[in-house]
Structure 1
């Protein structure tokens, strides 16, 4: 006898929506989110220095007092994903027994990777290992800087921050959203994942609060990244062509990125985001291949094994929060990263959920956890490992230590052949990564503020895409680095309540998958199951 499904609701997608100005707006999530974003931007522009001090204090208090909570939660998310992979529920297919994937695997990988980490890999793949190796802001596990042990610890710690833990954070959110939306027919919004806990209250005030927090985290995180990305691109143009890196240039870059993002969101997932993500990954593979070959190929091969080994050796001590003596590194890097990844979880998680219908839970989790981790090892070793080798050989500007973070990647490329070409490639890659993040983020915010609809009206997509760029540009013009620092601090602070939301997601997801009748998923192939059903009819 099939199990009775307790997770059914009479709530219909869009039933609380207001159609006006060509948009389909959820009441009150759209209006509260827009009002809070505008209020924050205006107040920050009025006093950017004061705002940065206030929000930095909030971020510092969050990290200082809840470091243990972030660390424990990060470990729980990894364990939850690994357990779900090996449990029988892993064969459950997102969307039901006969659901088929909407995208081919390569396009699927490209989209989830570009949305999840593409930006950060370009910005930090050189700067972070160099920072750890040279003790720019603390060394992992208190190793002595600029030693062979420091090189190993730097690469292991970098992978710790870009491997299983951050992708587990994304996977928990994505799995919960995909399951309740595609298997239970609920709206594709964060609140839906709370239905096993809140019941019908999910569609009332508690659910509205959850969705507003998710919108704010997404908007603030994307606006921060747009601002810092514009700074990196303008620094690259200055390094390459001598163009002065001014606020005007950075605003122009943001406007250009936003313009392309608007075109992409108008074209939608298939004609916009997928095309850009595939192009992005092609550029990334070309640049990665060049750096591997132009650097030291043998050093890369050996380094990949060493980095993997260092990651495996250090993952437990780096996951520990008790009695840490490397507090500067631990709180300044790891705890900050966990809060930052969690603040990005609503955006990346929902986007990954949106593109993952038709995958089994096991396939989904293996792909989301392991594939990006393996790719990150290759990328970090090629770029970060090359940079550390240059420092050890006293070659280039990085040998004198980490100066301007946005320039680090270009300084590493300067010591390889074809510097002009590869640096230009790097600038283009940064810009396209930011476009893919902006357009996929806009689609996510559209869905939440439309009450969970998968395809919000075009004017609404344009509104949020423009809003992200306008926020970043306004903050740069009105407050520069102080204003960007303030919005980044807000995004990190929002990570604290969303960590609690994610822990509840784990419980909700487990309760939800237990309600599925596993006998319905007897065939590992959705296509085979569908054909069998058709024959039975």
Structure 2
């Protein structure tokens, strides 16, 4: 017995497979290409760009029809899918599966909490929070205060709170509950589950960091064949078009801010130039790498966001905002069940025009955000991962929306500022800041913040797409990330030219709907994988 070798106890149940990430890759012009995912994705996207430019007005009309057609048809399946993600995430927190550590029992986090939260915040919703932080609460407020609108016998406004019609305070709570619902637990549950799946199967099972790996408990070795290729290709399309939507919002708002401050004309050419300029900056961040690029820019984002948030809180109606944070949280918790109910709804405008679009957008973004947070979350337990990714950003969203949206609504109620309510969505933030001291400085910080969010989204998005198309290898070539970062900008430009923000939203919804079904199936796969891991650790 004394001469027997000492063996270390297993720390995780690794997959027994001969596959190695990148083993079937093709080397072309310095690129490490996963055949056929890279080729299919690149060819289809290039064809999409060419056809959109060729057909001009026809493409514009098609995109204008496509988005409402998709959200009207698939509204209840999207809402149901969102609910499943929230329930599954909460299940993981309260069950023994939450004790599993990503990377094995000896793994420790690569990043501290501050850097980790900064990257989560920057990658997850940065541009969206800037674009919709003022505009969405004001939009819901205007609908609620106006009362119930009936078209063709159907109610089109959402007004679940009694007395909302004509009641400013009820309408305010109505608006904030609805807004926080779209930016709270539901989207972050989607990101958390996808990120957990990618991190667990990569760090604990030794599989490539790509979406196909999350289906190993269901598909087994078939993930290396065409079923896996199809999953990864869909992930590329969803990520690219979801990201292009965010970049389009960012370009619209940044240009509106430049027009507000400096009189820069809002034209199609100006939008193209702005996207090219910011994409060029993103390429510099791509070349710098994850630590020197995204990490530093994310921390800069966090500092600028806190500065702007603190300025609005202090210089604005501080007491109203502070009490509003609590009131809005209570309203959100109270209304989350009726808001998330996918059946028997009469509020078609809110359900289809807002919620279904958001859920499809979040789902299309989930490979991007999920893989990015998986890359920076090794060493966290499942419980810590889910809690931080689900709860902390939700709290931040409540504070952000209550500060920006609450301040804007207060300007309408207390000061009679109808201009902020009637302004275009991309201008509402700057119109609100007009009532503050140091308007130009605050507006300039807002513009810079949007641009830096643009850069971090493009950089981290190209990292994700590059990883998928390179077969999940940990450090794909920089040239390949440059390729995808460039294409993200090109797709955003083409969609803006071919139909504006409506075309961008249509593309995100169209890829998000089929991807939702795939991710719902993935929930069962993740549960099976975590259960097997828990049994293994318990018996060893």
Scaled by the length of structure 2, the TM-score of the pair is: 0.92
Kept in 2, the 8 Å contact 1:410–1:423? The answer is yes
Q: Of 38, 41, 50, which residue of structure 1 is paired with 2:58?
A: 50
Q: 1:467-505: per-residue Cα shift (whole Å, max 9, x none)?
A: 1112223444x43xx155324212211111111111111
Q: Does 1:512 align with 2:529?
A: yes
Aligned to 1:435: 455
Aligned to 1:455: 475
Q: Does 1:415 align with 2:423?
A: no
1:222 and 1:318 map into 2 onto residues whose CA distance is 26
Kept in 1, the 8 Å contact 2:241–2:511? The answer is no
Q: Of 470, 489, 494, which residue of structure 1 is paired with 2:506?
A: 489
Q: Does 1:502 align with 2:531?
A: no
1:521 and 1:150 map into 2 onto residues whose CA distance is 52
Kept in 2, the 8 Å contact 1:140–1:154? The answer is no
Gap change, CA 1:201 and 1:386, over 3 Å in 2: same
1:5 and 1:435 map into 2 onto residues whose CA distance is 38
Aligned to 1:354: 375
1:21 and 1:220 map into 2 onto residues whose CA distance is 26
2:346 and 2:449 map into 1 onto residues whose CA distance is 38
Unaligned runs of 5+ in 2: 1-8, 145-155
Q: Indicate the SS of the match to 1:392.
A: helix
Aligned to 2:419: 398
Gap change, CA 1:359 and 1:4, over 3 Å in 2: closer
1:218 and 1:246 map into 2 onto residues whose CA distance is 27
Aligned to 1:138: 157
1:68 and 1:267 map into 2 onto residues whose CA distance is 43
Q: Does 1:71 align with 2:79?
A: yes
1:277 and 1:425 map into 2 onto residues whose CA distance is 15
Kept in 1, the 8 Å contact 2:278–2:455? The answer is yes
Q: Does 1:307 align with 2:340?
A: no
Kept in 2, the 8 Å contact 1:172–1:502? The answer is no
Residue 146 of structure 1 deviates from its aligned partner by 5.8
Residue 517 of structure 1 deviates from its aligned partner by 4.4
Greater shift in the superposed pair: 34-43 or 1-10: 1-10
Kept in 1, the 8 Å contact 2:41–2:236? The answer is yes
Aligned to 2:3: none
1:145 and 1:354 map into 2 onto residues whose CA distance is 49
Q: Indicate the SS of the match to 1:200.
A: helix
Aligned to 2:396: 375
Kept in 2, the 8 Å contact 1:94–1:179? The answer is yes
Q: Of 214, 220, 229, which residue of structure 1 is paired with 2:250?
A: 229
Kept in 2, the 8 Å contact 1:62–1:493? The answer is yes
1:484 and 1:205 map into 2 onto residues whose CA distance is 34
1:4 and 1:111 map into 2 onto residues whose CA distance is 27
1:262 and 1:493 map into 2 onto residues whose CA distance is 28
Q: Of 94, 106, 124, which residue of structure 2 is paired with 1:98?
A: 106
Greater shift in the superposed pair: 131-140 or 227-236: 131-140
Gap change, CA 1:342 and 1:358, over 3 Å in 2: same
Q: 1:83-135: per-residue Cα shift (whole Å, max 9, x none)?
A: 10111111111011111111111111110111111110000000000000001
Q: 1:239-290: per-residue Cα shift (whole Å, max 9, x none)?
A: 1112222223222221221112111111211111000000000000001000
Gap change, CA 1:107 and 1:35, over 3 Å in 2: same
Kept in 2, the 8 Å contact 1:93–1:521? The answer is no
Aligned to 1:186: 207
Greater shift in the superposed pair: 371-380 or 216-225: 216-225
Q: 1:429-462: per-residue Cα shift (whole Å, max 9, x none)?
A: 0000111101000100010010001211111111
Residue 205 of structure 1 deviates from its aligned partner by 0.7
Q: Does 1:282 align with 2:282?
A: no
1:79 and 1:352 map into 2 onto residues whose CA distance is 20
Q: Does 1:253 align with 2:270?
A: no
Q: Of 288, 293, 313, which residue of structure 1 is paired with 2:314?
A: 293
Aligned to 2:153: none
2:340 and 2:181 map into 1 onto residues whose CA distance is 9
Gap change, CA 1:266 and 1:4, over 3 Å in 2: closer
Kept in 1, the 8 Å contact 2:316–2:407? The answer is yes
Kept in 2, the 8 Å contact 1:215–1:445? The answer is yes
Q: Indicate the SS of the match to 1:125.
A: helix
1:513 and 1:147 map into 2 onto residues whose CA distance is 48
2:60 and 2:167 map into 1 onto residues whose CA distance is 34
Kept in 2, the 8 Å contact 1:139–1:145? The answer is no
Unaligned runs of 5+ in 1: 523-537
Kept in 1, the 8 Å contact 2:131–2:249? The answer is no
Kept in 1, the 8 Å contact 2:101–2:379? The answer is yes
Aligned to 1:167: 188
1:3 and 1:474 map into 2 onto residues whose CA distance is 49
Kept in 2, the 8 Å contact 1:94–1:359? The answer is yes
Q: Indicate the SS of the match to 2:19.
A: coil
Gap change, CA 1:17 and 1:166, over 3 Å in 2: same
1:208 and 1:299 map into 2 onto residues whose CA distance is 52
Gap change, CA 1:106 and 1:6, over 3 Å in 2: closer
Q: Indicate the SS of the match to 1:10.
A: coil
Q: Does 1:444 align with 2:464?
A: yes
Q: Indicate the SS of the match to 2:26.
A: strand
Once superposed, what is the RMSD of the aligned Cα atoms?
A: 2.0
Gap change, CA 1:514 and 1:221, over 3 Å in 2: same
